[in-house]
Each structure stands twice: as structure tokens, then as C-alpha cells.
Amino acid sequence: MFGFEKLEVWQKAVDLADEVYRMTREFPDYEKFGLANQMRRAAVSISSNIAEGSSRESKKDFARFLQIAYGSVMELVSQLHIAQRQDFISKEDARKLYLNCQEIARMISGLKRSTGT
């Protein structure tokens, strides 16, 4: 097992990506390569950057990747608003994903603080 796989924030980010994939399957066909794709890429980017950053030798490099992961969370939050406004996802599903994003954002911020940068 790699070190990042033990991080609860990475595990939650993978769960979030799973949920985003599940929800975007229901998007209209004309959005499969639009907003659905953007949301999937942002969601996958969160766990990917946590994983990649954990492999870096310096805390400063890890903190930079955590900041990128945090940015991807914010990107996904923005996309959630659009998806809900367009009635691609329900208010309930949007809220569930939003709350998951809030939790992951807090965890990333805490992990970044723990790097001392």
C-alpha cells in the first residue's frame, strides 16, 4: 500500500469522484462531453493531486499539490451550481456533493497546515 492510500482525505476524494461519475451518467447526451466531463475531471484531479503530491520529497512541493487539489474542489463546487441550475442533478444530490466538497476542502486545508507551509 502506498502512503497516500492511508490518507482519509484521499479515500474521501476517491469516493467523491465515484459519486460524481455516478451522477453525471444521468446527464443528457449533449452534455456528456461538456459539463459532465468537466465535473469528472475536476473530481478525479482532487485525489490525483493528493497522491502525486505525497510522492514529492519536500513539504513545500506537497503543499503545492494540495493547493491544486483544493482548487479542483472549488472548481467542482462551481460546476455543481451550474449542473443543479440546469436541472442535470437534483437539489438533494447537489447538496450531498457540496457537503462532501466542504469536508474534503477542510481536510486538505488541515493537511496543508500540517506541512508547516
Summarised one tens digit per residue, pLDDT across range 61-101 is: 999 999 999 999 999 999 999 999 999 999 999 999 999 99
> Is the separation of the CB atoms in 65 and 56 below 8 Å?
yes
Q: How far apart are CA 59 and CA 112, in angstroms?
A: 9
Q: How far apart are CA 44 and CA 21, in angstroms?
A: 10
What's the pTM? Answer: 0.95
Residue spans of the domains in the chain: they are 3-114
Burial annotation 26-36 (CB, 10 A radius, 16+ → b, else e): ebeeebeeebb
CATH classification (class only), 3-114: mainly alpha
Nearest partner of 43 among 117, 106, 110, 100, judged by Cα: 100
> Is the separation of the CB atoms in 50 and 66 below 8 Å?
yes
